[in-house]
Chain A
Amino acid sequence: MSDKALPVVEYLKLPEEGEPYLEGHQCSLCGAVFVGSRTHCSRCGGRDCMKATRLSNNGKLYSYSIVHRSFPGIDVPYVSAIVDLDGGGTVKGNLVDVEPDPNGIEFDMPVEVFFGDALGRRDSDGNSYIAFFFRPVSESH
C-alpha cells in the first residue's frame, strides 16, 4: 500500500510541488489535443510527434446525462458531464454543486476542474485515490 494517495487515472498528475493537474498530449504536426499520453497522432497519422501539455482547469459544459440508476453502491442521482477545456481537450467527470435537474443545467455553462479524494473509494490493497470533479463558476470570475 502506498503512503500517498494515487491518481485515479494516468492523466491526472500529482507533482511533488504544486497543484494537481490534468495532462494532455498535443500533436506538433496538426495541433490535435488528446487527453492522456500517447506516441503517435490518430488524427493526422503523424509519428513520434506528441508533446505533453498541461490542460486548463477551466472549460464549458458540452453535454451531460443525469444518472439515476447505476451499479450497486454508487450514489445516485448525479450529473455525468462532458466538458470542453479551454485550449483543447475534452474530459468526462461528475458535475457537483448543481441540482441533478435539467432545468438547472445549461449547455456551455462555465465550469472549473477541482481535485479531491475519490469519494472514499479504495482499491483491494487499501490505497486511496485523488480524482477530479467539475463545479460551476459564475461568469464574473
Chain B
Amino acid sequence: MDAYIIGVDMIKFGRFPEKSVPQLGSEAALLALDDCGLAVQDMQALYCGNLNQASGMVGQRILQQIGQTGIPVVNVSNACATGATAFREAWASVKAELYDVVLAVGVEQMGRGLLGGGGGRGISKEGLLGSGTMPSVFAEAGLEHTRQYGTTFEQFAKVSVKNHHHSTMNPKAMYQIETPLETVMNSEMISYPNTKLMCSVNVDGAAAAVIASEQKTRELGLISRAVKVRASVLTSDPWQERDLVMPDVNTCTRKAASAAYEMAGLGPEDIDLVELHDCFATAEILHYENLGLCNDGDAGRIIDEGEVELGGRVPVNVSGGLLSKGHPLGATGIANIYEVSTHLRGEAGSRQVEGAKIGLTHVIGLGSACGIHVLEGAAA
C-alpha cells in the first residue's frame, strides 16, 4: 500500500522572537491541515521534529495549542535530518498500516551566529586545535573536493548566486535578493572558501505534512493533488578513516541515494528537481555527485554550465535552498518536501519547474544522518 502526502505547507521563514516553538509548529500544522481540508480530529498520530527543545515535548505542546485529542505523539531529534526523520516515521506508520492518516511537523527557533565549536571540558579548543565551527567543517569538506578535482572558489560561490536568484521567486524564503558573483565572493570571508553569503541563514521556521494511505486518500477524494512517496530512506555514517576530525557527509548520502533509487525503481536521470542540503555552498557541490546528478568530478562543470539552475537539466534548490530560504534545523526536512510537492502539483508560480513529475529531497544531520525522499506527482 503506497502512502501519499495529501496536505503540506510551511510558514514563511523569518525571525519571530515573540512567538514560541509550539506556536510556530501550530501555524504550519494548521496550514497543512487546511491544504487537505482536514481537522486535527482526523489525525491519528503526530510525529514532531525539533532540535533545540528536544526534551521539551514540543509535539504535545503543539496539540495543546490546536486540539488535545489524545493521539500518540512521537518527538524526534536527529540533527539537521530531524524534519525528514519525523516525516519518515509518519510515513512508516502508514506503510505499516498502524494508521491511515497522520501528521508530521518540523519546527525550529534559532539563535544568531556561528554554529558548532563550543562545549567540552577544560579549555576551549576552538582556534587551538583547528576549528569546529560549521563554516570551517564544510570548508574543509569542500577543499577535499578541490584536492580531488580542482574545484575553485568561484565555482563554490556560483552555488550561492544561483540559490539567491531562485529565492527571489519564493515569497516564503527569508530573503528575496539577487547576489551577483562579485557580491558573493567579496562578502565577509568566514572560513575560506565559504564567505558569509555562502553560509545558510539562521531563521525560525516550521513546516508540516499530512500523510495518508492510498485507500484513505481515494476515500477523501484527494488523489488528484496527492503526492506519492516513492522512497523514504535514512542512513547513518559508515566507518571512514577520517571520521573523528572530518564528518563524512558523502558516504551516508551515497548510501541513501542508491537505496532510494532502488526503492523508487528509478535512477537519477528520472529526477526533475532536487532540494538538497546546501547548508554551505561547498556542500551543494559535493551532493551533485553524491546524488548521482552528474559523474564524479563534474560538479564544477554543471554549476558553470547552468545545468542545476531553473530551466536547466536538473534544477537544484529552486526554493532558494538553505542559503537563502533559510535553515531552521528541525523544519528544513519537511520544508524541502513542501517545495518539491508544490512543483509536482504545478503550483509553484514563477519558479515552477515545468512538467515536473518526480523530485528528490535530501538532508544531512552532522554526526551523522542522511534522509532522502523521492516524490511523484499524481498521475491525474
The yes or no answer to B144 lying at the interface (CB within 8 A) is yes
Inter-chain contacts of A78 with B (CB < 8 A): 127, 131
Considering the complex, give the chain A residue whose CB is closest to the CB of B237. A42
The CA-CA distance from A123 to B128 in the complex, in Å, is: 14
The CA-CA distance from A92 to B130 in the complex, in Å, is: 6
Inter-chain contacts of A80 with B (CB < 8 A): 130-131, 136, 140, 191
Known: A65-B136, A67-B136, A70-B133. A76 touches B127 (CB 8 A): yes
Instruction: List residues of B (109-158) whose CB comes within 8 Å of A's CBs.
Output: 114, 117-118, 122-131, 133, 135-137, 139-141, 143-144, 146-147, 153
Check B123–A68 contact: CB distance below 8 A. Answer: no
Check A65–B192 contact: CB distance below 8 A. Answer: yes
- Chain B interface, DSSP helix/strand/loop, else mixed: loop
**Tally of B interface residues using CB under 8 Å:** 38
Question: Please, what's the 1-or-0 string for A122-141, where 1 marks a CB less than 8 Å from any CB in chain B?
Answer: 11000101011000000000
Check B144–A93 contact: CB distance below 8 A. Answer: no
Most chain A C-beta atoms within 10 Å of own C-beta, residue among B123, B124, B191? B123
Inter-chain contacts of B133 with A (CB < 8 A): 67, 70-71
The yes or no answer to A37 lying at the interface (CB within 8 A) is no
Known: A67-B127, A129-B122. A35 touches B139 (CB 8 A): no
The yes or no answer to A115 lying at the interface (CB within 8 A) is no
Check B140–A63 contact: CB distance below 8 A. Answer: yes
Inter-chain contacts of A70 with B (CB < 8 A): 114, 117, 126-127, 131, 133
Kindly identify which residue among B125, B129, B191, B244 contacts A68, using a CB–CB cutoff of 8 Å: B191
Check A66–B246 contact: CB distance below 8 A. Answer: no
The CA-CA distance from A129 to B124 in the complex, in Å, is: 11
Inter-chain contacts of A6 with B (CB < 8 A): 122
Question: Please, what's the 1-or-0 string for A63-86, where 1 marks a CB less than 8 Å from any CB in chain B?
Answer: 111111111001110101110100
The yes or no answer to B182 lying at the interface (CB within 8 A) is no
Check B192–A68 contact: CB distance below 8 A. Answer: yes
- Chain A interface, DSSP helix/strand/loop, else mixed: strand
Check A65–B131 contact: CB distance below 8 A. Answer: yes
The CA-CA distance from A75 to B124 in the complex, in Å, is: 13
Known: A8-B128, A65-B136, A123-B122. A90 touches B242 (CB 8 A): yes
Inter-chain contacts of A121 with B (CB < 8 A): 123-124, 128
Inter-chain contacts of A74 with B (CB < 8 A): 124, 126-127
Count CB-based A-B contacts (< 8 Å): 133
The CA-CA distance from A23 to B148 in the complex, in Å, is: 29
Known: A65-B131, A70-B117, A118-B128. A92 touches B245 (CB 8 A): yes
Known: A91-B245, A118-B123. A68 touches B188 (CB 8 A): yes
Question: Please, what's the 1-or-0 string for A32-67, where 1 marks a CB less than 8 Å from any CB in chain B?
Answer: 111110000011000000000000000000111111
The yes or no answer to B241 lying at the interface (CB within 8 A) is yes
| Shortest Cβ gap from B231 to chain A (Å) | 28
Check B239–A42 contact: CB distance below 8 A. Answer: yes
The yes or no answer to A102 lying at the interface (CB within 8 A) is yes
The CA-CA distance from A108 to B143 in the complex, in Å, is: 12
Kindly identify which residue among B123, B130, B191, B244 contacts A8, using a CB–CB cutoff of 8 Å: B123
Most chain B C-beta atoms within 10 Å of own C-beta, residue among A43, A63, A74? A63
The yes or no answer to A9 lying at the interface (CB within 8 A) is yes
| Shortest Cβ gap from A133 to chain B (Å) | 9
Instruction: List residues of B (175-200) whose CB comes within 8 Å of A's CBs.
Output: 188-194
Q: B-side interface residues toward A, CB under 8 Å?
A: 114, 117-118, 122-131, 133, 135-137, 139-141, 143-144, 146-147, 153, 188-194, 239, 241-242, 244-246
5 extra interchain contacts, Cβ-Cβ under 8 A, other than A62-B144, A65-B191, A71-B133?
A: A33-B241, A69-B188, A93-B130, A94-B128, A102-B153
Q: A-side interface residues toward B, CB under 8 Å?
A: 6, 8-9, 32-36, 42-43, 62-71, 74-76, 78, 80-82, 84, 88, 90-94, 102, 107-108, 118-119, 121-123, 127, 129, 131-132
6 pairs of A and B residues whose beta carbons are closest in the complex: A65-B139, A80-B130, A74-B127, A66-B192, A92-B245, A80-B131
